[in-house]
Structure 1
Amino acid sequence: MKKIHVTTKVNGDEVEFLCPPEETLLDALRDRLGFSGAKEGCGTGDCGACSVTLNGRLVCSCLVLGAEAEGAEISTVEGLAHGGELHPLQQSFIDNAALQCGICTPGILVAAKALLERNPDPSDSEIRYWLAGNLCRCTGYDKIIKAVKIAAAEMRGETA
C-alpha cells in the first residue's frame, strides 16, 4: 500500500509522517504523532471530541484526511499549555468543575479557544452556539459556559 508523505506544523512544531491515503487526521495525530488529546467519540463529526484547528479553522479531525494536513498548521489541546502553565481555559475548567470523564473536554477546550480568538467577550448564547458541536454526557453545560466566561474575562485582563 502506498503511503503519502505529509509535512505539517502541529502546535507550532514542524512534523512529518507517512499515512495511507484513507487515514483520518485524527488517526494520524494519535497513532503516528502521539497527540492523544483528541478522541474519537463518533467517527462521523457529530460529537466534537476530536476537534482541532486546521489553518485556524475549527474542524472535526475524524472528517479530515491526514494527507490534507500537508503544509497546514494544526493546533490540538496539547498546544494550549505553555512552559508548564495551563492555559486560562484549562485552569478555569478545573476551577469550575467543567469536566468529568475527559472524553469531550479536549474538543471543547479547542473549540472554546477558537471562539475566544475570534470573540474575546462572548455572550452565553454565543458560547452555547459555538460549542453546540461538542457533546458531553457527563456534566451539565452550565459549568462549561461559566468556565469559558471566567477564562475570557481573565484573558481580557479582568477579574471574574
Structure 2
Amino acid sequence: MALVSVGFRREIEPPALWFYVYDEDIPFACVHSPSMKSAWNAPKGKSSLQFEVYYSKEMPLAYSDDELQEKVLQSMEHMGLASREDVEVIDVHHVKYANVIFYQGMEQHRDRILRYLASKDIHSCGRFGKWDYLWSNQSFLSGVDAAKQLGEER
C-alpha cells in the first residue's frame, strides 16, 4: 500500500474522518483525516489528509511516486476536497504489509490455520491475527477477548 500524506496550510473540512472512494479513475480507495481526529495532529490553523492507494504483486502500482502525488492532487481537486494551492507538504510512503488480502476460498485456509494455532494454545487477535477485515474497535475488542480468555485459562 502507498500512503500519500498531504499537509495543508489551512484548515480544510473533509466529509468525514474516514471515507472510501469507489472510482477506478481515482488511485486511492480510502481517505483519512488525522487532523480531524485530533488537534495535536497538525499545527494550529492547518490540516491533513492521508490517501491509501492499494497495490500488490498481482496488481502493481501503475505510477512512480511523483506521478502518484500528481494523480492524488488531481483527484483531490476533482472531488472538491481541497485545492493544490492549499498544499504545504506532500509525502509518499510505501507500507509492505498493510491489509489482509482476501481471495476465493481463503476462509478454509484461514480457519485451518486458526484451528492449528488454537491447538497450540496460541490466541490470535486483531485484523491480521484473525485474518479478517476488522474495524479498529473490533481489532481492539478481539485483543480484549484474547486477554480475558488467557486470564480464565490461567
Query: TM-score range with shorter-chain normalisation?
Result: under 0.3
Q: TM-score, normalised by structure 2?
A: 0.23
Q: TM-score, normalised by structure 1?
A: 0.22
Q: Which has the larger radius of gyration?
A: 2
